[in-house]
Chain A
């Protein structure tokens, strides 16, 4: 016969599995038609390719839609503007961007401003020059590692 502590452990395990499973399964396989109006409005740049995205990619995009409502109008505009470009980036580029963003967040406001100016300076380089710089920088991991 299962004792008091045994029943308690079972209940906790079941609840933990239920809630963790629910939170993942809830978003993973939602088609474009199943998104609500607010989600569709935010993710509109991705409408044509939504149904081709993998479940974990959809989940990431739905996270963006969720956080979008907590942002100021200026930030929301930036998100809308950059979402298409973001969706077209490879998994490697996205993962690299997340890593660099974390590092950027840790910088002081002065350093952030300095980096922002440097990015503008980098934009003045020609595409061929930038391609040369990219080709000289080896990948630490490939897209296949992230699939």
Chain B
């Protein structure tokens, strides 16, 4: 058992049962507190070179932590936007999240294109069914409209 663990054990006394989650949490806090105390006590004796190295290391650690937190926040914001383009991948989703105007124009253009394509398709699809094709058909329009002809066909079929 190390010196620090001894201190923790002595500080906890008889109030907490060892190896329980509460005890472990309390022990960790006590250990950290002891480390801080020791560092504070000996910081005056650290030479300049070690002090600089610690400063640089701390700076790196903090910047790394900040970067990670920023990524988490951006990802959360993009996901919250609920943009359907995210189905095409995370990068597309992030792009859309950052360029809302551009994505708005793109979606609008796509909808307009789909609208005109549907109209054109409907036009072509109905072309053969328009009155012009009825008039140009093998039979004259009166043949289709003459209910006497219909009745005569039924009679002929019987």
Interface of A is mostly: helix
- Chain A residues within an 8 Å CB radius of B108: 8, 11-12
Q: How many A-B residue pairs have CB under 8 A?
A: 123
Tell me if A119 and B143 are in contact (CB < 8 A): yes
Assuming the A-B contacts A70-B127, A100-B145, A134-B151, are A75 and B115 also in contact, with contact meaning beta carbons closer than 8 angstroms in the complex?
no
Tell me if A79 and B152 are in contact (CB < 8 A): no
Assuming the A-B contacts A8-B104, A97-B144, are A64 and B127 also in contact, with contact meaning beta carbons closer than 8 angstroms in the complex?
no
B50 to chain A, nearest CB (A): 54
Q: Complex formed: what's the CA distance from A32 to B23 in Å?
A: 97
Q: Is A116 in the interface zone, CB < 8 Å from B?
A: yes
Among B138, B147, B153, B156, the one with the most A-chain Cβ atoms within 10 Å of its Cβ is B147
Can you name the residue of chain A whose Cβ is closest to the Cβ of B134?
A101
Q: Complex formed: what's the CA distance from A87 to B150 in Å?
A: 22
Instruction: State which of A15, A85, A137 has its C-beta within 8 Å of the C-beta of B112.
Output: A15
- Chain B residues within an 8 Å CB radius of A8: 104, 107-108
**Size class of the B contact interface (CB-based, 8 Å):** 35 or more
Q: Complex formed: what's the CA distance from A109 to B119 in Å?
A: 30
Instruction: State which of A89, A116, A134 has its C-beta within 8 Å of the C-beta of B147.
Output: A134
- Chain A residues within an 8 Å CB radius of B127: 67, 70
Interface size of A by Cβ–Cβ distance < 8 Å? Answer: 53
Q: Is B135 in the interface zone, CB < 8 Å from A?
A: yes
Interface of B is mostly: helix
Assuming the A-B contacts A64-B130, A134-B146, are A104 and B137 also in contact, with contact meaning beta carbons closer than 8 angstroms in the complex?
yes
Tell me if A15 and B115 are in contact (CB < 8 A): yes
Tell me if B107 and A67 are in contact (CB < 8 A): no
B65 to chain A, nearest CB (A): 32
Q: Is A25 in the interface zone, CB < 8 Å from B?
A: no
- Chain B residues within an 8 Å CB radius of A78: 135-136
Would you give the 0/1 interface string for A56-99, flagging 1 where the beta carbon is closer than 8 Å to chain B? 00001101111110110001101100110110010001101111
Tell me if A4 and B128 are in contact (CB < 8 A): no
Tell me if A63 and B130 are in contact (CB < 8 A): yes
Q: Complex formed: what's the CA distance from A93 to B104 in Å?
A: 50
Tell me if A71 and B132 are in contact (CB < 8 A): yes
Q: Is B148 in the interface zone, CB < 8 Å from A?
A: yes
Interface of A toward B, CB cutoff 8 Å:
4, 7-8, 11-12, 15-16, 19, 60-61, 63-68, 70-71, 75-76, 78-79, 82-83, 85-86, 89, 93-94, 96-102, 104-105, 112, 115-116, 118-119, 122, 125, 130-134, 136-137, 139
| 13 intermolecular pairs with C-beta atoms under 8 Å apart | A15-B111, A63-B132, A64-B132, A67-B133, A70-B127, A71-B136, A85-B141, A86-B135, A86-B141, A93-B142, A99-B144, A125-B152, A133-B152
